[in-house]
Amino acid sequence: MKPIVLGNITYGMYAIGVKGQQGPSACIVNTVMQVTKTSPSAPPLVALSMNTENYSCQCIEESGVFTISVLSEQTPATVIGALGFTSGRHGGKLDNIRHKVLMEGVPVIKENTCCWFLCQVKAKLATGGQELFVAEIIAGSDETAGVESAGKHEKLKPMTYQYYVEQLGGVSPQKAPTYLPNQLSGQRITGERFVCSVCGYEYKDPNFGFEELPADWSCPICKMPKKAFVRKK
């Protein structure tokens, strides 16, 4: 079976908030799912998969708590770039991101997110370089966020991984389960191309060459300057 077939499994886009020695931090994942239903006698459980080498994974291992902020289609791509393609090991990852820190020390992202959940780890399983956390939701948003549109209060639409790839031109970092080497948006990359050396975004406007872009142009995903792009074949 070709790995690209797994792209038919649907995913959401989430910011995982953690606390560590460098203070609150966060990362982007698309591997969150609800595993039990809500009931009067027991809170719902969710599952989160994360690469064991990630700083956020190590923080969850140590603290046993994390937050899930559900990104919306109106969450800026710059937020995904800042949280998804840089490490929190040296701190400062949230400096330019609107957020709040809960009394448990974990952050909640406020950049047009739909809602948030505070989770406490109940079980974990190591498999294939990934750590699978099963956690109990112990607090969260009372309702989903919305925006005013044409005189109506409309709920924000959760961002899917498909939307991230097809509408924002996004890709998965190498440590993500959905990462496919040398592939973008389900298509084999051929010929000369210009790729961001930080986040892997490929510039592919057929009507405007990369060299023609102004000097102050930056990557739409991680906001790195034009000089961060490399020519590849």
Residues sharing a CB contact under 8 Å with residue 149, sequence separation 6 or more, in sequence order: none
Q: What is the pLDDT of residues 42-80, one digit of tens each?
A: 889 999 999 999 999 999 999 999 999 999 999 988 899
Phi and psi, residue 63, nearest 5° = -95, -30
Can you give the pLDDT at residue 81?
85
When pLDDT is cut at 50, 70 and 90, the band that residue 169 belongs to is: confident
From CA 158, how far away is CA 145, in angstroms rounded?
10
Higher pLDDT, 17 or 174: 17
Phi and psi, residue 215, nearest 5° = -65, -30
Closest by CA position to 107, among listed 19, 28, 48:
19
Percent of the chain with pLDDT over 90: 45
Query: Are 197 and 228 a contacting pair, CB within 8 Å?
Result: yes
Tell me the mean pLDDT in the region 114-134: 94
Q: What is the DSSP string of 171-194?
A: ---TTSTT--TTEETTEE--S-EE
Tell me the mean pLDDT in the region 108-129: 94
Tell me the mean pLDDT in the region 191-204: 78
Can you give the pLDDT at residue 190?
44
Estimate to the nearest angstrom the gap between the alpha carbon of 138 and the chain centroid.
Answer: 22
Q: What is the DSSP string of 5-62?
A: GGGGS--B-EEEEEEETTEEEEEEES-EEE-S---SSS--EEEEEEETTSHHHHHHHH
Answer whether 0.75 is exceeded by the pTM.
yes
Can you give the pLDDT at residue 30?
93
Query: Are 43 and 138 a contacting pair, CB within 8 Å?
Result: yes
When pLDDT is cut at 50, 70 and 90, the band that residue 138 belongs to is: very high
Is the pLDDT at 188 greater than 70, yes or no? no
Is the pLDDT at 16 greater than 50, yes or no? yes
Query: Are 113 and 69 a contacting pair, CB within 8 Å?
Result: yes
